[in-house]
Amino acid sequence: MNDTDLVTVATFPDAAEADLARERLALEGVVAFVLDDQGDVVMPFMIASTGGIRLQVAPADAECAQEILG
């Protein structure tokens, strides 16, 4: 599976928040991936201009993930 097979269910201003959300989904059995989190360390000022750090899941899990993250 690559990132074109995934859908974004949430965006976050920093990697810590994105990781917490990913872990929350994992506890519910939803596999999620955090994308663009490297920029948070290298160039944190760029995160806002790129739309934030993306949390992505498989299309079949998108609705469930959004309900969990509520």
Please tell me what DSSP assigns to residue 1.
-
Check pLDDT > 70 for residue 42: no
Select the more confidently predicted residue: 40 or 64.
64
Q: What is the pLDDT, as a whole number, of residue 14?
A: 85
Q: Per-residue pLDDT tens for 49-59?
A: 556 899 999 99
Residue 51 Cα distances to 10, 29, 33, 47, 64, angstroms? 10, 26, 16, 6, 23
Select the more confidently predicted residue: 36 or 44.
36
Structure tokens at 31: 């596999």
Using pLDDT thresholds of 50, 70 and 90, give the confidence band for residue 27: very high
Structural domain span for residue 44: 3-69
Distance CA 24, CA 29 (A): 9
Residue 40 Cα distances to 2, 4, 25, 54, angstroms? 21, 22, 21, 12
Length of the chain: 70
